[in-house]
């Protein structure tokens, strides 16, 4: 699937029974302008949600954002999850 981002890869898996799951992997490339790169990746994630309506989604990877901080990265991920009724679950921190 085309993500329009070097920092986001995604694949849509279609299963018997008619349901699909989109798996997205985010990679923080450590660019100097992280806020701009983050905004672009979040925008691309939003585009995937909109193109694959009806699918289930799992986004993971190296977001380099701590869930319980007030960094700009945290705010962007938190807003994305809230807006799209997604759960932000921390597996390991």
pLDDT (average), residues 4-31: 87
pLDDT (average), residues 27-50: 85
* Cα–Cα distance measured from residue 53 to residue 50, given in angstroms and rounded to the nearest whole number: 6
pLDDT (average), residues 68-89: 87
pLDDT (average), residues 65-83: 85
* Cα–Cα distance measured from residue 68 to residue 74, given in angstroms and rounded to the nearest whole number: 8
**92 pLDDT band (50/70/90 cuts)?**
low
pLDDT more than 90, % of the chain: 42
pLDDT at 93 over 60: no
At 51 the pLDDT is 93
* Cα–Cα distance measured from residue 60 to residue 81, given in angstroms and rounded to the nearest whole number: 13
């Amino acid at each position: 699937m085309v993500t329009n981002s070097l920092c986001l890869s995604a694949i849509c898996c279609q299963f018997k029974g008619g349901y699909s799951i989109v798996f997205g992997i985010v990679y923080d490339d450590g660019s100097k302008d992280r806020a701009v790169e983050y905004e672009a990746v979040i925008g691309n994630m939003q585009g995937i949600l909109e193109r694959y309506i009806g699918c289930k989604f799992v986004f993971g990877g190296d977001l380099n954002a701590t869930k319980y901080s007030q960094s700009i990265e945290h705010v962007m991920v938190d807003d994305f999850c809230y807006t799209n009724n997604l759960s932000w679950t921390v597996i390991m921190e």
